[in-house]
Amino acid sequence: MTADNPDDLTEDERAYLAAADAAAGLAEHCKKLRERGAFVDRDPLSQIINFLMTELWDRSFSQSEIRVAFNAAVKDMNRYAAGQERR
């Protein structure tokens, strides 16, 4: 699935790519907060991840679904990051 020709995508594929774009946008906002030194007295990434979790809960995802998704993402991190701690 690529966005080379959006007309060739199904509605589900467009929705999935929109969610991926939203995740990229959230990550960019997190990066900007870190670069600005915002919320020096707290960890902004932890706070934002907590906001994401509560927003998912408020939209009827179960605790189990949220926990499984976060744990699966953390398990997959090493494959994606190739063992590096930071880019």
Dump pLDDT digits (tens) for 16-50.
999 999 999 999 998 888 888 877 677 778 888 99
Contact 66, 53 (CB under 8 A): yes
**Residue range 68-85, pLDDT digits in tens:** 999 999 999 988 888 888
CA–CA separation, 31 and 26 (whole Å): 9
pLDDT band at 2 (very low <50, low <70, confident <90, very high): low
Distance of CA 52 to the CA centre of its chain: 8
In angstroms, how far is the first alpha carbon of the chain from the final one? 26
Q: How confident is the model at residue 3, as a pLDDT?
A: 56
Interacting residues of 74 by C-beta distance below 8 A, sequence separation 6+: none
